[in-house]
Amino acid sequence: VAALLVILSLPAALAAADANTEGPPTAVEQALIEHRCGATRATSAPDTDAYDKCLNGQLESIRSDFGRDLSRLSPAERRATDAVCNRIRNAEGRDAYVACLSGQLIALRARRNHETPAVAEQAAVVPIAVPAPENPPMAPRSSPLLMWIGASAAAVFVGGAGAMVALKRRPLAATACRVCGVRVSGGGDLCPPCRHDAAESLRRASLERVEAARAQEDLERRQREQEEELSRRKVREDEEMRLLIEARAREEEQARREAEARRQEEAVREREHYGLEEDVFDPHAILGLPSDADRGAIESAYTAARSKYDADQVAHLSEEVQQHFRLKAAAVERAYQLLTA
Ligand SMILES: [Zn+2]
């Protein structure tokens, strides 16, 4: 992982470089100087003075030509270098890329020195850079470096992977089912049987909730129906009561009319009886005569009726009888007046 990060950060490091020539080597510079001093290291013991001297000399040389972290490369030069070496990095990996970069820088320095008219300067630089002899032994020199970097990367990778596995495994190993305490593998805080039980009880609880909701709904529906039935019955009863009251009122009205009719009928009969009713007053009938009776018959009938209804005859009887006689006498008198007028 660390090696991968170094490779990925190379272009960024190139872009972010500044002109400072002090300080420890950057990642790119470290890779380049280790690449160039690989032969020195291979022939002597690691970290000896010769190797350190080579590293310092190469770092100074690279910085004097190209600036700290290759920051004095022109954009065109950087593009040309990337065009050649990025392809190699993609195809063959980091070591090949470092070798390519080193070769490109040496070639670039050679071109710059040829373009420079100052021969003395060129002479001074070339021996330090040693461009010619460096190219041929590149492959044999890079071999131990490649092995070393590969081993480091592998170690870092194995170490990182081990750490990750340890990190992952430690909490898993420590996890116990929170119900039964059985050790749980594969994450989670429940063992499979307990997880099944938990899911089952959740399902049952959900079913019970649904069932309870349905029962409550049924209850409410029945209550509503009862209320509606009660209200319908109330309406029916009210209607019946109204009809009953109306019927009773009609009966009373009917009885009242009948009583009125009877009373009027009685009054008519009474008036007819005494001949008081104007339109039915028949003077012949009152005197007991046929309608074609002559004057003599009328005179004799009148005399007879007057004596028949004489008030003196009933003076000793009740007031009701006397009233009856008076009415009859008045009727007889009126009939006589009408027939003789
Ligand atoms: Zn369990």
Residue 244 amino acid letter: L
Q: Is 167 exposed, middle or buried (0-12, 13-18, 19+ CB in 10 A)?
A: exposed
Tens of pLDDT along 139-183?
A: 444 566 777 777 777 777 777 777 776 666 555 456 888 888 888
Centre of ligand 1 from the C-alpha of residue 174, in Å: 14
Query: Measured between alpha carbons, how far is 114 from 106 in angstroms, rounded to an integer?
Result: 12
Tens of pLDDT along 6-35?
A: 666 665 555 444 444 578 888 888 888 888
Centre of ligand 1 from the C-alpha of residue 206, in Å: 22
For the whole model, what pTM was predicted? Answer: 0.29
Centre of ligand 1 from the C-alpha of residue 194, in Å: 4
Bridge partners of residue 176, in order along the sequence: 183
- Those residues with Cβ within 8 angstroms of residue 61's Cβ, 6 or more apart along the chain or in another chain: 128, 129
Tens of pLDDT along 213-244?
A: 999 999 999 999 999 999 999 999 999 999 99
Centre of ligand 1 from the C-alpha of residue 173, in Å: 15
Centre of ligand 1 from the C-alpha of residue 295, in Å: 143
